[in-house]
Structure 1
Amino acid sequence: MTQFLLSVHHREGDAMPSEDEIQHMYASVDAFNRRLQETRAWVHAGGLTDVSQAKVVDASAGAGSITDGPFSEAREWLGGFWIVEAADLDTALALAREGSAACHGPVEVRALQGE
């Protein structure tokens, strides 16, 4: 089995969903998470706080610095993720399709190195 990162992306300009839509998405994601757990594909998952709350730590050149805000100015950002175990890329893509439908957003699929 290979582990894959399924990352949920948000785009600048995306309309904010209504409260009813948000509750529907939460319920859909919860159902998807339960299915992942029941099929033993689940490794870990999580949603992230708003990108405006990000901090960047850079100790690559010595003592290091901490700055407010996201690492880069971008029109897209990571909003959450799943780490799943799947037999192959096609299986991971099928899981990503379900995750995308549940969270109403695009999901990028990448295998973890060394898996």
Structure 2
Amino acid sequence: MLVEKEDYIEKVFKRSSLCDEVFLPTMVFKENMEHKLYTTNTLHDVPDELQGNLRYINWWEESLTGASPYVWKDGDEERLEYAASLGHLFARKFDLSDSPKLKELICKRCQKA
């Protein structure tokens, strides 16, 4: 499990460029987990449908401006739990500095796995 590899991930990616964009795909490949992280179901970019790479990224929110995904925050816990129940394994995008409830949920879910 990737959570258990925190020290390795920090050591390898700490000084890399774009590490937040490359560490997960790199680790998934290194740990031979790619077959567990992809579905061939069609992506229609709606919240109730499993997205191809099993990441839950909110691109559909009408209030979004620009080309960035929605940033999950406190109050979104139920939506993220629902996404997990559908089979999503990862979510993006978080700013946990102002979201203690969301951070607590993520920590609990990581301990379950």
TM-score, normalised on structure 2?
0.30
Structure (1/2) with the larger strand percentage: 1
Structure (1/2) with the larger helix percentage: 2
Work out which of the two has the higher radius of gyration on C-alpha atoms and give 1 or 2.
1
